[in-house]
Structure 1
Amino acid sequence: MPAYRLTPSLHTTPWGGDRLRTYGKDPAVPTLGESWELSFVPGAESRLDDGRKISDAFGKEAYGTRAADMPFFPVLTKFIDAARDLSVQVHPSDAYALAHEGQYGKCEMWYILDAAKDAGIYLGLSEKTDAETLRHAALDGTAQHLLRFFPVKAGESYLIPPGTIHAIGAGVVLFEIQENSTLTYRLYDYGRPGTDGKPRELHLEKALAVATLDRYTKAENSSSDPTLIGLTPYFETHVYKLNFTKRELFVDKTSFLSLTVTEGEGRIDGQISKKGDTFFLPANSGRVTAEGKMTLVAVSLPEREKTEAPS
């Protein structure tokens, strides 16, 4: 079974820029903030080369046996270009989201692709605080001042468990792997207008209900596998760096495999692949070969009994 090249769903945002054109995305889209690479989200699905929506082309058997108890495709991947600071926001856990929103929450991770000088991300609180202090900071525009700031550089990865207040800073381009959910609770957004010209909606009460108020400590990768950069109950992420070399991967019945080229070029399953391309391999595709000089981000479903749900 072949690897299927995907056409992404492109999204204009108030904070987007023009750097995703270097990843092959449409330069005609203004303030392009997000390119949804592997997406089963209704209305924003990835498409195959023949124009079919990915959700029309593949049934649940393509997800893999590890997704047998999941009601929909479990993962969403994106390129993100933050030309300006993103909103200060937080995502709920599955438990809260199912109880209050009728959908799943969001665990996510970021793989940094590029960063301007002194650019970085905001992750979690710099000190333990209380809900009222956080509420006042959100209302008076100082919410960022309560967060930990991490200068970033290409090749770093960060896990953002549900409940972690966060924001991508201006000047950062990254690849995001997340639970397939569109739930975001904004605490602060600089008064920026939405498409209707009015300030975008905030979700202060919900954000305060789900936010982790303890001091944030960055999770360190303790894996003995140097290619493994992220392991959660929802996704497993590897980075493979090929230097005019070949790597063989095997896609068995337990999970699909998504391969995104974040640097360089080569061939995947014999097909020309270049920076910005994403390929989908349904579960049970068998052996696939990647070769060339390129960096690949590989996403699949984990053995869930070997993972621990982020708190």
Structure 2
Amino acid sequence: MSELYPVRLIPVFKDYLWGGTKLKTVFNKKSELNILAESWELSANKDGQSIIANGKYQGYGLKEYIDIVGKEIVGTKGLALDDFPILIKFIDAKKNLSVQVHPDDEYATCHDGANAKTEMWYILDCNVGAYLYYGFKKDITKQEYQDAIRSNTITDVLNKVPVHKGDVFFIPAGTVHAIGAGILICEIQQNSNTTYRVYDYDRRDKDGNKRELHIREALESSNLKKSTYSNSVLDGDDIILTQCDYFTVRRLKVQNRVQLRIDKTSFHSLIITDGSGELYMGGEILKLNKGDSIFIPAQNNEYTVSGPCEIILSFL
């Protein structure tokens, strides 16, 4: 087996209070946790890293694996970065998530412990009438923003956006947002777990304590300009969902088979969001099922995926 073989990953699970059980019932995730709010499908984050499930490096964490084999497997675009560049999750929002914001690169650089987070959402499924909040309806002053937070009317000044299966949202860092109840999402983001909560519906955690808000940080890092958004349902068997400075995301609908090219500039991450199939690469064959996460190290090579299946392909 080549050192650069396709790696199957075991996710990290998070049981935040707003989560549900769809990651178990829809994606067959195995966990003793009663609530599965998030599964971190591709993660080398300090708060939880994916585990390799196959081959020579079975049992190693993704970060450990990269440290052993070498950063070249991340790709030349990632060599200058201190940390693995992206984090990919499934999110099951049975209840509303907090209204929140993430810092941008400039703010993160000036504040120790902060990590920038631009992200995108691909709506895998949602309840009828589901919605989310995305940025401000109009330009707002910092004082107006602060007043809305203090009076618990922050959602009144945000765009309330209905969602549908297949919608795509790109959320630049600094955009105030909230995922609403009844939405199942695949999220691709910068490798960050920095979240500044603005409003949390006066909820309490499992110990009866109100969850911490981060008002000062939110006031300093939020984009107060009117936000524009697009959530059009995209059609096509091979389309780019998002392309930005931090990642590119393609959606592939494989009916029979498709041949894909990888090079030394970036790894490939494959998230199987529907169906099943097989991956063929250098004599290796991997079975693919709905919910699987595959990491392919950067290299000059080709591989083939058979279907029928839907794949979210992410790379730098």
TM-score by length of 1: 0.92
What residue number does 1:2 align with?
5
Single out whichever of 170-179 and 68-77 deviates more from structure 2. Answer: 68-77
What residue number does 2:110 align with?
99
Q: Distance in 2 between matches of 1:211 and 1:52?
A: 38
- Matched ranges for 1:258-277 at <5 A: 258-269=269-280, 270-277=285-292
What residue number does 2:262 align with?
251
Q: Distance in 2 between matches of 1:14 and 1:275?
A: 25
Any conservation in 2 of the 1:124–1:215 contact (CA below 8 Å)? Answer: yes
Is there any run of 5+ residues in structure 1 with no aligned partner, and where? 302-311
Any conservation in 2 of the 1:86–1:167 contact (CA below 8 Å)? Answer: yes
Is there any run of 5+ residues in structure 2 with no aligned partner, and where? none
Q: Distance in 2 between matches of 1:132 and 1:150?
A: 25
Counterpart selection for 1:172 from 177, 183, 187: 183
In the superposition, relative to structure 1, how do residues 285 and 44 fare at CA in structure 2: closer, same or farther (>3 Å)?
A: farther
Q: For 1:177-225, what per-residue CA distance to the aligned partner results, in whole angstroms no more than 9, with x for missing partners?
A: 0000111111001122234431111000110111111111115899x99
Single out whichever of 77-86 and 65-74 deviates more from structure 2. Answer: 65-74
Q: Displacement, 1:135? A: 1.4
Any conservation in 2 of the 1:18–1:27 contact (CA below 8 Å)? Answer: no
* 1:283 and 2:298 correspond: yes
Any conservation in 2 of the 1:39–1:77 contact (CA below 8 Å)? Answer: yes
- Matched ranges for 1:44-59 at <5 A: 44-49=48-53, 50-58=58-66, 59=70
SS across alignment from 2:19:
strand
What residue number does 1:215 align with?
226
SS across alignment from 2:44:
coil
SS across alignment from 2:16:
strand
Q: Displacement, 1:61? A: 1.2
Any conservation in 1 of the 2:238–2:252 contact (CA below 8 Å)? Answer: no
Aligned length: 299
Q: Distance in 2 between matches of 1:27 and 1:144?
A: 34
Query: Following superposition, which runs of at least 4 residues in structure 1 exceed 3 angstroms of deviation?
Result: 219-222
Any conservation in 2 of the 1:139–1:188 contact (CA below 8 Å)? Answer: no
Alignment identity in percent? 38
Name the Cα RMSD after superposition. 1.8
Q: Distance in 1 between matches of 2:218 and 2:254?
A: 41
SS across alignment from 2:186:
strand
Q: Distance in 2 between matches of 1:255 and 1:211?
A: 31
Q: For 1:240-285, what per-residue CA distance to the aligned partner results, in whole angstroms no more than 9, with x for missing partners?
A: 0012x11111111100000000011111232111110000001106
* 1:12 and 2:15 correspond: yes
In the superposition, relative to structure 1, how do residues 86 and 220 fare at CA in structure 2: closer, same or farther (>3 Å)?
A: closer
Single out whichever of 206-215 and 76-85 deviates more from structure 2. Answer: 206-215
Any conservation in 1 of the 2:238–2:253 contact (CA below 8 Å)? Answer: no
Any conservation in 2 of the 1:37–1:77 contact (CA below 8 Å)? Answer: yes
Q: Distance in 1 between matches of 2:177 and 2:117?
A: 13
* 1:152 and 2:163 correspond: yes
Counterpart selection for 1:32 from 24, 33, 36: 36
Q: Distance in 2 between matches of 1:12 and 1:228?
A: 31
Q: Distance in 2 between matches of 1:153 and 1:43?
A: 31
